[in-house]
Structure 1
Amino acid sequence: MKKKRGTAYGVIGLGRFGTALAIALSQAGKEVIAVDRSEEKIKNIRRYTDYAFVAENLGIDVLREIGIQNCDVAIICIGEKVDVSILTTMSALELGVPHVIAKATSEEQGAVLKKLGAEVVYPERDMALRLGKKLISDNFLDFVSLSNNIEIRQIPVGKNLIGKSVQESEIRRKYQLNIIALENNSETNIEIMPDYRFKHNDIIVVIGKTENMDKFEEEN
């Protein structure tokens, strides 16, 4: 794709997030380059953009041939494959794309991508936070089943955690659960600091896999 007037976007990785993003940008009248290794996904996205390319290898030479350097913004939507995400982000930056945005699925991955010079987004986490805040404000959150065995659930803090800080509890490391809100006496806080110490009657709102939540409730 040669550089045209208006902002041009490169979307690399057509999972659910990347596909939805590419379609939204195309429907808004933006120039979009879409890249994925799946021929089926590229075939489907061609209904929305003429610039859709199958690429098994996302090295810098391939991205240059596709024309990513002509984009004003490149969005790297490959959160799950950390090594590919990092290398593709590096390639987009090396090609001189002015604004590189990279999807991350963990804070560790996000820290690396940010250090490289990319803007980092956490689509799943941000969606869960928005949904959690809405449901909490509507006072009907018990648990919400999302997809792939992922839930948002309210869990009363057990006696084993009372007096411990969020950091000391190691909930994320031990159970792969993320705290998205904390309730106590009908007050809800969505900015939970690592040094916050759990109190009697605290209820945490967490997102994670069902089996991990069940294990956490059993052990705490």
Structure 2
Amino acid sequence: MGRNIVEGGVLVVGLGRFGSTLAKSLERSGTSVIAVDPRQEVVQEMSNYCTHVVQADWTSEEALRQVGAGDCEVAVVAIGTDIEASILATSVLVDIGIPHIWAKAVTEPHGRILSRVGAHHVVYPEQDAGKRVAHLLTERILDFIDLGDGHAIVKISAHRGLRGRSLAESHLRSKYGVTVVAIKRQDGRIDPAAADTVVGEGDQLIVMGETRDTERFAAE
């Protein structure tokens, strides 16, 4: 099993809604976090939730090195509306040599620039949230996770025609191109899926595949 890369600590640059939520969640999970923002009032507020919160210029290599950025294995540039600062901060982190840089983008062109300056992963929180809500509003899909590259994991209620049959008998892979990875039982238990797993009344299927295939399967 590969080593968890966040064990080396995570630098979060930008403490808006996305960055502050990320920093708080990582801190609660026991991950070492260095949170950086140039706004004093934001830093003061976040100091109630995170141990290491620093007021610093997020576009200055010297400032980021001084707060310990070079010791982190992962950095997340969570700057939102200031696109220029987002790009500059990402470029600085590349120069520092952080192995894993994630950057938030607000538009597709913004994301492309972040990739070109060296971000290893670009995320679109607003777009991803919009896609997820759109799928949930159909009422057929109970949960939706966009994996990128046209793939997704979805949770749906088991179709009536699947109940009482094993997954092998249902031939979901050949019919729909999807793979059932787990089943959430009516009592809340989650069982790994196997060929001989029988789908029961009230079960929910956790399915992975190309997004269009998962949507087609959910629509049946």
TM-score by length of 2: 0.59
1:106-185 mapped onto 2 (5 Å cutoff)? 106-118=107-119, 119-138=121-140
The one-letter code matched in structure 2 to 1:132 is A
Q: Is the 2:57–2:63 Cα contact (8 Å) retained in structure 1? A: no
User: What is the alpha-carbon distance in structure 2 between the residues aligned to residue 38 and residue 68 of structure 1?
Assistant: 18
Structure 2: gaps (5+ residues): 1-5, 142-210, 213-220
Instruction: Please state how far the C-alpha of 1:115 moved relative to its aligned partner.
Output: 1.6
Aligned to 1:94, the other structure's residue is in SS state helix
Deviations 1:137-186 (A, max 9, x none): 359xxxxxxxxxxxxxxxxxxxxxxxxxxxxxxxxxxxxxxxxxxxxxxx
Q: CA RMSD in A?
A: 2.0
CA distance in 2, matches of 1:120, 1:135: 26
Q: Which amino acid aligns with 1:136?
A: T
Given that 2:57 and 2:64 are in contact with CA atoms closer than 8 Å, whether structure 1 keeps it comes out as: no
Distance 1:70 1:28, change over 3 A: same
Give the C-alpha shift of residue 42 in structure 1. Answer: 1.1
Change (3 A) 1:76 1:57: closer
Deviation (angstroms), 1:47: 2.3
Partner of 1:62: 63
Preserved contact between residue 58 and residue 89 of structure 2 (Cα < 8 Å): no
Q: TM-score, normalised by structure 1?
A: 0.59
Residues 37, 58 of structure 2: 8 Å contact kept: no
Matches for 1:54-93 after TM superposition, within 5 Å: 54-56=55-57, 58-93=59-94
Give the letter for the 1:130 counterpart: R
The count of corresponding residues between Structure 1 and Structure 2 is 138
Matching residue's letter, 1:125: Q
Contact 2:16 2:80 in 1 (8 A): no
Tell me which amino acid in the other structure corresponds to 1:107.
E
| Consecutive unaligned residues in structure 1, runs of 5 or more | 140-189, 192-220
Q: How far is the alpha carbon of 1:44 from its aligned partner? A: 1.8
